[in-house]
Amino acid sequence: MDAGTNRHSSHTNGAGETDGRNGEHKKNLWTSMLESVASGKRLPEKNLLVLGGTPETQRDFLESLSSLETKRSFERSKTPPIANDFALGYTYYDVLDADQDDTLARVSLYLLSQPSDEFSSLVAPLLTPEAIPNTALVILLDWSQPHLWLRQICQWVRLFRSVTQKLGNDQHERMEEIMEAWKSRGRGGASTNLDGTPSANAASGDADNSLPQGPGEWSDPLGLPLCVVCQSAQKMEVLEKNHAWKEPDFDTVLQYLRTVLLRHGASLIYTSQNAPSQLPSLIHSTLGITSLLKRQPLKHNVIDRDKIVVPPNWDSWGKIRVLGGTFEAEAVSQGWEEDVDERFGTEPCNMEALEQNRKAQSETAGPLQTESAIARYEDWCQAPNSGGLAVVETVMNQSEVTVHSDETQDFLEAQLKILEAFKAKAVPDKPEKILVDTAAAQKEREHISEHIGPVQFNVGGIHVDADDMLQRIKDRNAYASPEPAPAEPEPATPNVTEKYDNEQLQNFFNNLISRKDPADSPRS
**What is the C-alpha to C-alpha distance for residues 175 and 166, in angstroms, rounded to an integer?**
14
pLDDT in tens, 349-389: 888 888 888 888 777 767 888 889 999 999 998 765 555 55
Q: What is the mean pLDDT of the chain?
A: 78
From residue 99, give the alpha-carbon distance in Å to each of 71, 120, 139, 207, 291: 13, 40, 31, 35, 10
The rounded distance, in Å, linking the Cα atoms of 509 and 506 is 5
Residue 486 identity: P
Q: pLDDT for 209-241, tens place per residue? A: 567 788 889 999 999 999 999 999 999 999 998
CATH fold for domain 40-201+210-400: Rossmann fold (3.40.50)
Domain residue ranges in the chain: 40-201+210-400, 408-451, 454-477+496-504
> Across 17-26, 268-277, 397-406, 428-437, which has the greatest mean pLDDT?
268-277
pLDDT in tens, 89-108: 999 999 888 777 788 899 99
- pLDDT at position 459 is 61
pLDDT digits (tens, 9 = 90+) for 475-494: 877 776 555 555 555 555 45
pLDDT band at 495 (very low <50, low <70, confident <90, very high): low
More confident residue, 309 or 32: 309
pLDDT surpasses 90 at 469: no
pLDDT given at position 15: 43
In what helix (H) or strand (E) does residue 105 lie, and over which residues does it extend? strand 103-112
CA distances from 497 to 452, 455, 491 (A): 21, 14, 18
pTM of structure: 0.66
pLDDT value of residue 8:
42
